[in-house]
Amino acid sequence: MLRIERYTPGRAALWDAFVDRAKNGVFLFRRGYMDYHADRFTDHSLLFWEGDRLVAVLPANERDGTLASHGGLTFGGVVTDRRMRTGAMVDLVAGLRAYMPAAGLATLVYKAIPHIYHQAPAEEDLYALTAHGARLVRRDVASAIDLRDRVDPAKGRKWGANRARANGLAVAESTDYTAFMAVEEENLRTKYGTRPVHTAAELALLADRFPGNIRLFVAAKDDRLLGGVVVYQSRQVAHAQYIATTPEGRDLGCLDAVMDELLNRVYPGRVPYFDFGISTEKSGTYLNRGLIENKESYGGRAVVYDFYELPGGFPGDPDPVRGVA
């Protein structure tokens, strides 16, 4: 019998232990990451039990009658261990639909975990959602590199890295998030009129909590930081969370040097994939062609980030999927 429990802080250790052994878990789902911005979201994460066995968790928050994959995360669907099977996931989604009206929740907005983050096949949720009538309401496209069988980068990338080093740029790991985020903030302000999701202090805090997962690599000349990349490393993927350069760094090939270091020395053999993140705007309907072409010039190719919407409850006739064995 499936039982659904709302997360409370007393379950933090249990939650984290489950995420760590899950087949599609990433460090972003650990409570030390999710809860750093607890003041911005009303957490409504869920634990799913069969008897006394925890079978899945869902990082989520609620807002205005909607249960959503956690708003502080790029993605965050149902997290499961290797024992999860498709029929059990169909039943889990049925249980979730039944739970929602009693909790005052009318709709589920679900951000699926992209397949490159799976340690083992883990798309039972996608079948269960669509079998229950969920609609695909948004699709973003990211660019990822399979580091085990890399697509050749554009010729200019190697030339740019060599030019940067010839101009005296040195690439190294750094903990100076203040200097880097100042560059990132200026880039976003001048290009898009926006601000980064994280402040320098928040990023430094998270890097201190997850030192093996959050790392900063920079290119500098004469002790002046000219640009760099903040990398979020999970078990399967190294993800470029922030990429920024000064105008001088751009002229000297700063990012080519940093990416050459990451893609050819730091991450091969450590993770299967390097993910540059999405290049879409306006809820996925607008493709920033210049941005994605830049990522593809390093050898990145398309991986989609999908959003689904599912109503809670079972109005009208009983949903036949609930009876699937």
* pLDDT at res. 39: 86
Q: What is the mean pLDDT of residues 307-324?
A: 66
- Would you state the pLDDT for residue 28? 97
Model pLDDT, residue 317? 40
Regarding whether 71 and 174 lie in a shared domain, the answer is no
Asked if 10 and 136 sit in the same domain, the reply is: yes
Does residue 324 surpass a pLDDT of 70? no
Q: Are residues 214 and 318 in the same domain?
A: no
99 CB-near residues (< 8 Å, 6+ apart):
4, 46, 105, 312
**Residue at 78 is within a domain:** yes
Whichever domain contains 214, its CATH number is 3.40.630.30
Other C-beta atoms closer than 10 Å to the C-beta of 73 total: 18
* Claim to verify: residue 136 and residue 158 sit in the same structural domain: no
Asked, for residue 287, whether it belongs to a domain, the answer is no
In a domain, 277, yes or no: no
The pLDDT value recorded for residue 208 is: 97
What pLDDT sits at residue 79?
98
DSSP state of 114: P
Question: What is residue 61's predicted lDDT score, i.e. its pLDDT?
Answer: 97
In percent, how much of the chain has pLDDT > 90? 90
Q: Is the pLDDT of residue 316 over 90?
A: no
Token pair for 224: 């002046």
Task: Please tell me whether residues 68 and 110 are part of one structural domain.
Answer: yes
Domain count, the chain: 2
Does residue 310 sit within a domain? Answer: yes
pTM of the entire structure?
A: 0.93
Question: Residues 6 or more apart from 29 whose CB is under 8 A from it?
Answer: 19, 57, 59, 73, 76, 79
92: pLDDT strictly greater than 70: yes
pLDDT of residue 315: 62
Residue 325, pLDDT > 70, answer no
Cβ–Cβ under 8 Å, residues 71 and 41? yes
Give the pLDDT confidence score for residue 320 in this predicted structure.
Answer: 40
Examine residue 54 and state whether it is found in any structural domain, yes or no: yes
Task: Specify if 291 maps to a domain.
Answer: no
254 and 135, same structural domain?
Answer: no
The 10s digit of each residue's pLDDT in 107-160 is 999 999 999 999 999 999 999 999 999 999 999 999 999 999 999 999 999 999
Per-residue model confidence (pLDDT) at position 192: 81
**Same domain, yes or no: 263 and 159:** yes
- Residue 291 class from Cβ within 10 Å (0-12 exposed, 13-18 middle, 19+ buried)? middle
137 and 83 inside one domain: yes
Return the exposure string of 124-161: e unless at least 16 CB atoms fall within 10 Å of the residue's CB, then b.
Answer: bbbebbebbebeeebebebbbbebeeeeebeeebeebb
Q: Are residues 10 and 119 in the same domain?
A: yes
Does 263 fall in a domain? Answer: yes
Q: For residue 279, tell me if it sits in a domain.
A: no
Tens digit of pLDDT for each residue in 153-209? 999 999 999 999 999 999 999 999 999 999 999 988 888 888 898 999 999 999 999
**Each residue's pLDDT tens digit, 255-309:** 999 999 999 999 999 999 999 999 999 999 999 999 999 999 999 999 999 999 9
Domain hosting residue 115, numbered range: 2-141+306-323
Same domain membership, residue 76 and residue 170 = no
- Note whether 50 and 88 are same-domain residues: yes
Residues 104 and 127 in one domain: yes
